[in-house]
C-alpha cells in the first residue's frame, strides 16, 4: 500500500496506517505524505520506509510505482484534505491502483458520480472508510434486524453530538479551520462531517433508505458560515419515521454517536462510546445486553472480531476491519480466496455507492434546511 497525505502532524493518516497494517494483511511500502517533498521524505523515513519510495508528489508516486510492476504497490490510501480526494482517486485508478479513500469520497455529488464511472471503467476496487460501520456490534445489530428479530422497523433515532466547536475559541485548531471553511469543506460543516455518518449508520443497520428530509441546520457562533448543528426529521422507504441529530456545539459530548431502531416486536440500540455492546429491548420481557463474544454472534460479526469476550475492541479495530476486508477483496482478485475468509464480511466494505449516498445526503439536507416547505425529497 502507498499513502497520499498523512505526513507528520496529521491525525487521520496515523489512524489509517495503524488500521491498514493491524491484521498484517497490508504493508505500507511507499507514500507521498506531503506536498512538501522534504516533509514527505522525512515522514516516510520516520515510518522506516525506503527513501526511494517517499515521493514528492502523488503524481510521481503513481508513475514510479506503476513502473515497478508486481513490485509496486497494489493499492493507495488517500488521507489528504477533502478537495483532493477525487483527483487523487481518479489518477490512482487510471494508473491501475485500487483505492481506499478517507471519507468523504469527493467534495460534491457530481464528483462522486464521476468517480463511480471511473471505477466501473477501470474495474478496480474502491473502499471508503466509513469507520463506524466497521464495528462488530454494529454489524450484529444489522444482522439481527435482517433476521427479523425486531420485526418491521417503525422508528429510527440516530444522533451524533459533539461539543468541540461550541465556541469561537474552538476555531483556532487546524481541524476546525478547514471544516468551517466552505472552500475546503464544501457546503456543510456539521452535516458533512458527522451528520453523514449518522445517516449512513441508520441506513446501514436498518437496510432502509431515507426518502424524505425535513431539516433545520444552524450556525451558532458569530462569523460562522457553515452549519455547526442540525436536526432532521426522516421518512424511510418502508414508511418508518426517523430523527437524525448532529451537533458540534453540544458542549461536553465526545463522539456520542448513538443509534436506536424500534421495530414492531423489539428495539435495538448501539452507542459508539460503548461499542462492544448492543441492547435489545422488548415489550414483555427483560432487556438484553448483548456483549461482543457472549452468546451467539452472526458470522459477519465474528469475522470482524479479533478477541474473545471480555477484551474490549475499539475505534482502531473498527477502522482496521474495513482495511482488512478490503485486502481480502484484493487478494481474492490476485490469488483467489482463502478458505478462512468470510465472503459476506468481505463484501461489507463501504464503497462508491455509500459515497454517492453520503454526498447526496449532504446536498439534500442542506436544500431541505433552506426550504420553507416541511418535506424535501431525497
Residues 283, 334, 335, 339: which binds its own copies (CB under 8 A)?
283
Give the count of beta carbons closer than 10 Å to the beta carbon of residue 131. 23
Contact 72, 79 (CB under 8 A): no
Q: Which is nearer to its own copies, 104 or 161 (CB)?
A: 161
Retrieve residue 21's grid coordinates. Answer: 497494517
Within residues 232-261, the interface with its own copies by CB under 8 A covers 233, 241-243, 245, 247, 249-256, 260
Within residues 169-198, the interface with its own copies by CB under 8 A covers 170
Within residues 27-56, the interface with its own copies by CB under 8 A covers 27-28, 47-48
Q: Which is nearer to its own copies, 119 or 244 (CB)?
A: 244
| Collapsed DSSP state (helix, strand, coil) of residue 161 | strand
Q: Give kind and range of the element (H or E) at residue 132.
A: none
Residue 141 makes contact with its own copies by CB under 8 A = no
Per CB under 8 A, the segment of 53-61, 107-115, 183-191, 270-278 that binds its own copies is: 270-278
Pairing of strands 376-377, 210-218: antiparallel
Tell me how far, at minimum, the Cβ of 348 lies from its own copies, in Å.
21
Round to the nearest angstrom and report the end-to-end CA distance of the chain.
36
Tell me how far, at minimum, the Cβ of 58 lies from its own copies, in Å.
21
Give Cα separations from 221 to 166, 170, 224, 248 (angstroms). 7, 10, 6, 11
Q: Give kind and range of the element (H or E) at residue 100.
A: strand 98-101
Alpha-carbon span 163 to 235, nearest angstrom: 27
Tell me how far, at minimum, the Cβ of 94 lies from its own copies, in Å.
29
Residue 143 makes contact with its own copies by CB under 8 A = no
Instruction: Return the closest-CA partner of residue 40 out of 52, 32, 48.
Output: 32
Tell me how far, at minimum, the Cβ of 77 lies from its own copies, in Å.
14
Residues 314, 343, 347, 377: which binds its own copies (CB under 8 A)?
314
Residues 29, 37, 57, 164: which binds its own copies (CB under 8 A)?
164
Q: Put residue 252 in one of left, alpha, beta given phi > 0 → left and psi -120 to 50 → alpha.
A: left
Per CB under 8 A, the segment of 66-74, 87-95, 97-105, 273-281 that binds its own copies is: 273-281
Within residues 294-313, the interface with its own copies by CB under 8 A covers 294-296, 306-313
Retrieve residue 310's grid coordinates. Answer: 471480555
Tell me how far, at minimum, the Cβ of 240 lies from its own copies, in Å.
9
Amino acid at each position: 500500500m502507498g499513502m497520499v497525505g498523512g505526513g507528520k502532524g496529521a491525525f487521520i493518516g496515523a489512524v489509517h496506517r495503524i488500521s491498514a497494517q493491524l491484521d498484517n494483511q497490508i504493508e505500507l511500502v511507499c507514500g507521498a505524505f506531503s506536498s512538501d517533498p522534504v516533509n514527505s521524505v522525512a515522514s516516510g523515513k520516520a515510518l522506516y520506509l525506503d527513501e526511494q519510495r517517499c515521493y514528492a508528489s502523488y503524481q510521481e508516486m503513481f508513475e514510479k510505482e506503476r513502473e515497478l510492476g508486481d513490485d509496486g504497490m497494489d493499492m493507495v490510501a488517500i488521507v489528504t484534505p477533502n478537495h483532493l480526494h477525487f483527483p487523487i482517486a481518479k489518477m490512482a485508478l487510471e494508473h491501475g491502483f485500487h483505492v481506499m479513500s478517507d471519507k468523504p469520497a469527493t467534495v460534491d455529488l457530481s464528483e462522486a458520480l464521476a468517480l463511480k464511472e471511473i471505477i466501473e471503467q477501470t474495474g478496480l476496487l474502491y473502499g471508503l472508510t466509513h469507520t463506524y460501520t466497521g464495528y462488530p456490534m454494529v454489524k450484529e445489530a444489522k444482522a439481527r434486524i435482517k433476521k427479523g428479530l425486531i420485526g418491521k422497523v417503525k422508528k429510527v433515532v440516530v444522533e451524533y453530538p459533539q461539543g468541540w466547536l461550541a465556541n469561537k475559541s474552538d476555531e483556532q485548531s487546524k481541524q476546525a479551520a478547514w471544516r468551517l471553511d466552505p472552500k475546503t469543506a464544501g457546503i456543510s460543516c456539521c452535516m458533512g462531517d458527522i451528520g453523514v455518518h449518522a445517516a449512513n449508520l441508520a441506513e446501514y443497520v436498518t437496510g432502509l433508505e431515507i426518502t424524505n428530509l425535513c431539516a433545520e441546520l444552524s450556525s451558532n457562533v458569530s462569523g460562522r458560515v457553515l452549519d455547526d448543528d442540525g436536526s432532521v426529521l426522516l421518512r424511510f422507504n418502508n414508511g418508518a419515521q426517523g430523527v437524525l441529530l448532529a451537533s458540534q456545539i453540544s458542549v461536553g459530548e465526545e463522539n456520542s454517536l448513538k443509534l436506536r431502531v424500534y421495530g414492531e416486536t423489539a428495539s435495538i440500540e448501539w452507542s459508539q462510546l460503548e461499542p462492544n455492546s448492543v441492547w435489545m429491548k422488548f415489550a414483555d420481557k427483560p432487556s438484553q445486553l448483548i456483549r461482543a463474544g457472549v452468546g451467539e454472534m452472526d458470522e459477519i460479526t465474528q469475522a470482524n472480531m479479533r478477541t474473545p469476550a471480555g477484551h474490549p475492541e475499539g475505534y482502531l479495530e473498527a477502522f482496521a476491519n474495513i482495511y482488512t476486508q478490503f485486502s481480502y477483496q484484493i487478494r481474492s482478485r490476485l490469488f483467489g480466496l482463502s478458505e478462512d475468509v468470510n465472503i459476506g464480511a468481505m463484501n461489507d466494505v463501504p464503497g462508491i455507492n455509500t459515497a454517492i449516498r453520503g454526498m447526496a445526503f449532504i446536498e439534500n439536507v442542506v436544500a431541505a434546511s433552506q426550504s420553507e416547505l416541511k418535506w424535501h425529497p431525497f
